[in-house]
Amino acid sequence: MPNPTKKAKCDSCQALMINGVLCHERGCPDAWKDQVRECPWCGTDFRPEEREQRFCSPDCEKAYRGE
């Protein structure tokens, strides 16, 4: 069970925990760092390392683009 007293930390907004989920303010430029995305090629869930990252790996991106 998540700790309800756990403090949320974000250097770009006043994030807070709601039911154990980290929630950023609307428009926070760093919210993407806590997202879990699904790779459109292989379906694997991953955490992005860059804001616009859509694929879990360069190999999946190349395969998706037919390279």
DSSP-assigned beta bridge partners for residue 22: 17
* DSSP H or E run through 23: strand 21-23
Q: For position 6, what pLDDT does the model report?
A: 58
Q: For position 1, what pLDDT does the model report?
A: 46
Distance CA 24, CA 27 (A): 8
Q: For position 7, what pLDDT does the model report?
A: 67
Q: Tell me which residues of the chain have a pLDDT lower than 50.
A: 1-2, 5
